[in-house]
Homo-oligomer: A and B are copies of this chain.
Amino acid sequence: MRVGKVIGNVWATKKDEGLEGFKLLVIDQINPRTKEHDKTIVAVDAVGAGPGEMVLIVGGSTARFAANQHAPTDATVVGIIDTLEIYEESE
């Protein structure tokens, strides 16, 4: 899974009906070791994440299962991170 920060929202009136009722969050994917930014994506929110929260995002077909099996998504927020501990800087 990827780590990211909730940095925005998307509204789309004309969309697949399977996305109805889901919040569509803009996620800034971040490397938790180097803090570098990676690709910014849009994910279905399955846990009620708010602006600025650090979250866990699952991709691929599993994202569909994590939403409600029918939502046409390949990225779903499946956790709000309380703590991310790095034991030691990886050589």
Contact = CB atoms under 8 A, between A and B. Distances in A.
A47 to B, nearest CB: 5
Given A10-B83, A31-B39, A40-B32, A1 B74 contact: yes
A19 to B, nearest CB: 6
Given A38-B39, A63-B62, A81-B12, A28 B72 contact: no
B81 A1 contact: no
Interface of A: 1-3, 5-16, 18-19, 24, 26, 28, 30-34, 37-43, 46-48, 51-52, 56, 58-66, 72-76, 78-90
Given A12-B79, A66-B72, A82-B12, A2 B42 contact: yes
Contact of A43 (B1, B6, B84): B1
Contacts of A87: 6-9, 51-52
